[in-house]
Amino acid sequence: MRIFVLIGWLLTCTPVLAMEWKSDITLSPQPMTYSGPADSVVPGNIIGSTWSATADVQQVFWCGFFVLCYKSTLEPSSSAISSGLTVNVDGVNYTIFETGVPGVGYIIGLKDFNGSSYVPLQTGVTQSYPAEGTSNTTQDLGWSAKVTFIKTGTALKSGVYQIPTINAAVLTAYNNEIKTAQVIISPTTITVTASGCTVETKSANVNLGTIDIRTLPTVGSTSPSGTFNIGLTCDANVAVHAVMTDQTTPSNTSSVVTLTGDSTASGVGVQFFYNGTGPLMMGQTAPARAPLTSSLYRRSPRHRRCRCRFRRTTSARANWCPAPQMRWRASHFRTSNG
């Protein structure tokens, strides 16, 4: 009889002695909206509110009555991909992970349910229990979690971004067993209405006339300039920043644009000026601010008056310098709040 009683007691107590998984943690961000200049949310900035979603789960694991849990850890799931970027939020450095949507990443903070401070989800394994505010052993383990979305390197264009379900992190509990749970981010959307400008002047031919090389006697001498306009149509409250790129030599960062391959002139280059300032340096952002037109109009035409001139670049002897057909391009227009 004693044998049967002992066996019965062991059978009924087996679930009590074993650690049990009770729940995963699901973070459910609400749909987010962003409206403003496309470049005003710069890499590393939060999209939307400080934390898009939070969750508190008191019992993720039941450790047991007799064999208590002595440690828990957190780490990225096997499918989580680090963007290679970090961001400081509330004085804590977080690793930014990819959502699968270009230009949008996420960060996660986690802490033991009874702990006093969050720890960031990093690329390695981080201990979350014991922690400040907790005991050294426990019968159950729970966590508090929070997530937010971060702008990464790609500009946000207008549209609806579908953030898929993300298996973000793995939580691990330890006693005489080891068990794991998941941190899951539910699908959500980010609707972006990005304001900016449309460049109406796709190309500009500038006639600099016929230049006698004798009017450019030394290296660095310059010719009279020619002017041209760049037409823009911009949304309200947008200030324009332009980057000019040397079409012939894209890596050029000087102030002298090299001639195209079909130019017959040599020993000369071209410099560009804007609004009386310059010469402009290639590859560097230049502000192109102007007073906005009436606020009654959402979109407003603008013109950027530019001028260019020849500059002698070598001391080699030359004859007449025919006006080459110059081609230049502004590689992009960056917009920001005006």
Q: What is the pLDDT of residues 187-230, one digit of tens each?
A: 999 998 877 777 887 777 777 777 777 777 787 788 777 787 87
**Number of domain units in the chain:** 2
Q: How confident is the model at residue 103 (pLDDT cuts 50, 70, 90)?
A: confident
Does residue 268 have a pLDDT over 50? yes
Same domain, 186 and 310: no
- Three-state secondary structure string covering the chain: CHHHHHHHHHHHHHHHHCCEECCCEEECCCCEEEEEECCCCCCCCEECCCCCEEEEEEEEEECCCCCCECEEEEEECCCCCEEEEEEEECCEEEEEEECCCCCEEEEEEEEECCCCCCEECCCCCEEEECCCCCCCCECEEEEEEEEEEEECCCCCCCEEEEECCEEEEEEEEECCCEEEEEEEECCEEEEEEEECEEECCCCCCCCCCCEEHHHCCCCCCECCCEEEEEEEEEECCEEEEEEEECCCCCCCCCCCECCCCCCCCCCEEEEEEECCECCCCCCCEEEECCCCCCCCCCEEEEEEEEEEEEEECCCCCCCEECCCCCCCEEEEEEEEEC
* pLDDT above 90 as % of the chain: 38
Does residue 245 have a pLDDT over 70? yes
Residue that terminates a domain, selected from 195, 229, 254: 195
How high is the pLDDT of residue 3?
45
47 is a domain residue: yes
Same domain, 188 and 278: no
Same domain, 240 and 181: no
pTM, rounded to two decimals:
0.64
- State the residue range of the domain holding 79: 19-195
pLDDT, averaged across the chain: 78
48 is a domain residue: yes
Same domain, 62 and 173: yes
